[in-house]
Amino acid sequence: MHQQTRKAIVKRRPALLSAIRKYNTYCQTLEELRPLESIIIIPRPLPTDLAKLRGEDSDLMEDVWVSPLTEGRPRWLDEQQVRDGIHAMIKRERCLEERRRLGLEADNLCRWFGQELCSLELAIRRSECEHRIIKFISWH
């Protein structure tokens, strides 16, 4: 049972690390976009070392935006513009991901088209060459 658990962890490690890196990027973006006078609590990035993530001092179980604030309500609860900004940030991120995917697809299509074109040119040249050889042999 222990070995199966270890194998499952190792198998899921790349996806988990990718998710942690994405989360940390969001934390950094939120920190950069937060006004200095703001009272919004920004979550802290998580460690990418999974052993440190299991530790008790990890921020993984942090209750961000759940504890009541004594300074007042966060702007994202009261202001539609802040909520719209959050939605726009998420949509922008999705658009960038889709743009990367479409770029890869375009590259793959161009590569495929180039290979097909080369194959076609090679076939035409071979048939021309074979035609000349047959003509030469029949002439002699």
CA distance 34 to 27: 11
pLDDT digits (tens, 9 = 90+) for 69-83: 556 667 777 788 988
The pLDDT, as a whole number, for residue 43 is 79
Q: For residues 112-133, give the mean pLDDT.
A: 86
Q: For residues 109-137, give the mean pLDDT.
A: 84
Tally the domains of the chain: 2
Range of the domain at 130: 80-140
Do 58 and 108 sit in the same domain of this protein? no
Do 85 and 139 sit in the same domain of this protein? yes
pLDDT cut 90: percent of the chain above it: 30
pLDDT digits (tens, 9 = 90+) for 8-55: 777 888 888 898 899 899 989 988 888 887 777 777 888 888 777 766
What is the CB neighbour count within 10 angstroms for residue 46? 19
Do 87 and 130 sit in the same domain of this protein? yes
Residue 117 pLDDT > 80: yes
Do 72 and 94 sit in the same domain of this protein? no
Contacts of 30 (CB under 8 A, 6+ apart): 42, 43
CA distance 55 to 57: 6
CA distance 122 to 140: 27
Do 64 and 2 sit in the same domain of this protein? yes
Rg (CA), the chain: 29
Band the pLDDT of 90: cuts 50, 70, 90.
very high
Residue 115 pLDDT > 80: yes
Residue 113 pLDDT > 60: yes
CA distance 28 to 44: 8
Do 30 and 58 sit in the same domain of this protein? yes
Quote the mean pLDDT of the chain: 81
Residue 133 pLDDT > 90: no
